[in-house]
Amino acid sequence: MVKHFISLEWKQFKRASYFQKGIAIKILLFLAFIYFGGAALLLGVGLFFILRKTMPDVDPIITVNNYLVYWMLMDLAIRYFMQQLPVMNIKPLMVIPIKKNSVIHYLLGKTVISVFNFIPMFVFIPFSVVLMASGYPVLKVLPWLTAMYCFVLTFNFTNFLINKSNKAFFVILAILAVLVGLEHFEIYKVSVPMGQAFNYMYNNPALCLIPVLLLVGTYLLNYRFIQKGFYLDAEISKKVEKVKSQDLSWMNRFGKVAPFLKNDIKLITRNARPKQVVLISFIFLFYGVVFYTQDIYKDMPAVLVFASIFVTGGFLLTFGQLVPSWDSEYYKMLMSQNIPYRQYLESKWYLMVFGVSISFVLSLPYLYFGTRIYGMIAAGALFNIGLNSFITLIGGALNRVPVELNVKSKAFGNTNGFNPTQLLIGLPKFVLPMLIFYVPYYFISFESGLIALALSGVLGIILKNVFLSKIEAIYQNGKYKTIAAFGEKK
Amino acid sequence: MIVTTNLSKSYNENTVLNIESLSIPSGQSFGLVGNNGAGKTTYFSLLLDLIQPTTGHIENNNVRVNESEDWKPFTSSFIDESFLIGYLTAEEYFYFIGELRGVSKADVDELLKGFEDFFHDEILNQKKYLRDLSKGNQKKAGIVAALIGSPKVIILDEPFANLDPTTQIRLKQIIKDLAQKQGVTVLISSHDLLHVTDVCERIVVLEKGEVVKDIETSEATLKELEAHFSNIEVA
- Gap between the Cα atoms of A148 and A137, Å rounded: 17
Task: Say if residue A395 is in the same domain as residue A465.
Answer: yes
CA B42 to chain centre: 12
* A255 reaches B (C-beta below 8 A): no
Report whether A327 contacts A333 (CB < 8 A): no
Residue B176 CB-half CA count within 13 A:
11
Contact A336 B77 (CB under 8 A): yes
Q: Which amino acid is at A191?
A: S
Q: Does A243 map to a domain?
A: no
Cα B156 to chain centroid, rounded: 1
| pTM (global) more than 0.90 | no
The answer to whether residue A125 sits within a structural domain is yes
Find the closest chain A residue to B100 by CA distance: A338
Chain A neighbors of B132, CB-CB under 8 A: 238, 240-241
Phi, psi of A274 (to 5 degrees): -60, -35
Phi/psi for B129 (5° steps) reads -80, 155
Which residue of chain B is at minimal alpha-carbon distance from A260?
A: B96
Are the Cβ atoms of B84 and A241 closer than 8 angstroms? Answer: no
Altogether, the residues listed in chain B come to a count of 235
- Specify the pLDDT at position A248: 76
- For helices A389-398 and A464-477, the axis angle rounded to 10 degrees is 10
User: Would residue A48 count as lying in a domain?
Assistant: yes
For B39, phi then psi, to 5°, come to 115, 15
Shared domain for A384 and A325, answered yes or no, is yes
Is A259 touching B (CB cutoff 8 A)? yes
CB–CB contact A339 B100 (8 Å): yes
In this structure, the strands spanning B2-11 and B55-60 are: antiparallel
Nearest CA in chain A to B102: A338
As separate numbers, helices (DSSP H) first and strands (DSSP E) second, chain B gives: 8, 10
How far away is chain A from the Cα of B21, in angstroms, using its nearest Cα? 23
What is chain B's percent helix, strand, coil content, to nearest 5? Answer: 35, 25, 35
Query: How many H-runs (helices) and E-runs (strands) does chain A carry?
Result: 23, 0
- The torsion region of residue B150 among left (phi > 0), alpha (psi -120 to 50) and beta comes to left
In terms of domains, do A69 and A120 share one? yes
Give a yes or no: residue A385 inside a domain: yes
Task: Name the DSSP class of A241.
Answer: P
Residues of A in contact with B49 (CB under 8 A): 335-336
Q: CA-based angle A268:A273:A276, to the nearest 5?
A: 80
Q: Taking residues B132-150, report their average pLDDT.
A: 93
Does any domain span residue A178? Answer: yes
In chain A, the residue whose alpha carbon lies closest to the alpha carbon of B127 is A243
Is residue A232 less than 8 Å (CB to CB) from chain B? no
- For strand B14-24 and strand B2-11, is the pairing parallel, antiparallel, or unpaired? antiparallel
Residues A217 and A265 occupy one common structural domain = no
Q: How is the beta sheet containing B153-157 ordered, strand by strand?
A: B75-78, B153-157, B185-190, B29-33, B202-207, B210-216
**How far apart are the C-alpha atoms of A84 and A162, rounded to whole Å?**
12
- Site from B44, B48, B50, B127 to mutate, A interface, most A CB atoms within 10 angstroms: B50
- Sign of the Cα torsion B216, B217, B218, B221 reads positive
B82 neighbors B123 (Cβ within 8 angstroms) = no
Out of A236, A263, A284, a domain closes at: A236
Residue A241 domain-assigned (yes or no): no
Domain stop point among A236, A267, A289? A236
Q: Distance (Å, rounded) from C-alpha A227 to C-alpha A107?
A: 11
Q: Does A340 touch chain B (CB under 8 A)?
A: yes
- Among A242, A271, A336, the residue with its CB nearest the CB of B50 is A336
Of A203, A236, A269, the one marking the end of a domain is: A236
Smallest Cβ distance to B99: which of A259, A329, A484? Answer: A259
Buried b (16+ CB within 10 A) or exposed e, A243-274: beeeeeeebeeeeebbbbbbbbebbbebbebb
Please tell me the predicted confidence (pLDDT) of residue A234: 45
* CA A262 – CA A258 distance, rounded (Å): 6
CA nearest neighbour of B5 among B64, B57, B63: B57
Distance CA A4, CA A98 (A): 11
DSSP B89: B
A283 and A198 together in one domain: no
For an interface test with B, the pick among A337, A404, A483, A486 (most B C-beta atoms closer than 10 Å) comes out as: A337
Non-local CB neighbours of B82 within 8 Å, separated by 6+ positions: A329, A330, A331, A332, A333, A487
B169 CB-near residues (< 8 Å, 6+ apart): none
Examine the domain organization and report whether A153 and A35 are in the same domain.
yes
* DSSP notation for A468-484: HHHHHHHHHHTHHHHHH
Please name the residues in contact with B11: beta carbons below 8 A apart, sequence gap of 6 or more: none
CA A466 remoteness from chain centre: 35
In this structure, the answer to whether residues A33 and A94 fall within a common structural domain is: yes
Range of the domain at A285: 249-489
Looking at the structure, tell me whether residues A189 and A44 fall in a common domain: yes
Nearest to B87 among A242, A271, A337 (CB): A271
Which letter does DSSP use for residue A83 in this model?
A: P
- What is the residue-wise DSSP string for A125-137? HHHHHHHHHTT--
Q: Do A406 and B149 touch (CB under 8 A)?
A: no
Min Cα–Cα distance to chain B from A242, Å: 7
State which H helix or E strand residue B17 sits in: strand B14-24
CA distance A129 to A45: 8
Q: How many CA atoms lie within 13 A of A121 on its CB side?
A: 14
Q: Which residues contact B186 (CB under 8 A, 6 or more apart)?
A: B28, B29, B30, B153, B154, B156, B175, B178, B179
For residue B52, give the chain A residue with the closest CA.
Answer: A480
Claim to verify: residue A142 and residue A175 sit in the same structural domain? yes
**Residue predicted with more confidence, B232 or A221:** A221
Report residues of chain A scoring pLDDT below 50.
Answer: 232-237, 410-418, 490
Report chain B residues whose CB lies below 8 A from the CB of A336.
48-50, 72, 75-77, 79, 83
Residue A279: inside a domain: yes
Instruction: Mark whether A345 and A470 lie in a shared domain.
Output: yes
In-domain check, residue A244: no
Integer Cα distance of B174 and A269 in angstroms: 36
Q: Does A338 touch chain B (CB under 8 A)?
A: yes
- The minimal CB distance from A329 to the residues B51, B86, B96 is found for B86
Judge: A338–B89 Cβ closer than 8 Å, yes or no. Answer: no
Which pLDDT tens digit goes with each residue over A441-469? 989 999 999 999 999 999 999 999 999 99
Measured in angstroms, the CA of B81 and the nearest CA of chain A are apart by: 8
Best of B93, B129, B157 to substitute, by most chain A Cβ atoms within 10 angstroms, is B129
The residues that bridge with B129 in the sheet, in sequence order, are B89
Q: Using an 8 Å Cβ cutoff, are B124 and B91 in contact?
A: yes
Which residue type is seen at B120?
H
Q: Tell me if chain A has a CB within 8 Å of the CB of B50.
A: yes
A407 and A338 Cβ atoms separated by less than 8 Å: no
Report whether A80 contacts A163 (CB < 8 A).
Answer: yes
For residue A322, give how far its alpha carbon lies from the nearest alpha carbon of chain B (Å).
Answer: 17
* The residue type at A485: A
User: Same structural domain for residues A173 and A314?
Assistant: no
- Sequence-separated (6 or more) residues with CB below 8 Å from residue B231: none
Q: Chain centroid to CA B36: how far?
A: 16
**How many structural domains does chain A have?**
2
pLDDT tens readout for residues B26-66:
999 999 999 988 999 999 999 999 999 999 999 999 999 98
Which residues, in sequence order, are bridge partners of residue B207? B210
The partner residue sitting opposite B100, judged by closest CB among A241, A330, A337, is A337
**DSSP state, residue A234:** I
Looking at every residue in chain B, the average pLDDT score rounds to 91
A333:B85 CB<8 A: yes
How far A334 CA lies from chain B's nearest CA (Å)? 8
Does residue A147 sit in the same domain as residue A279? no
Query: Cα–Cα distance between B7 and A36 in angstroms, integer?
Result: 55
User: Sign of torsion, CA A383 A389 A391 A392?
Assistant: positive
Domains for chain B: give ranges and CATH numbers.
Answer: 2-230 (3.40.50.300)
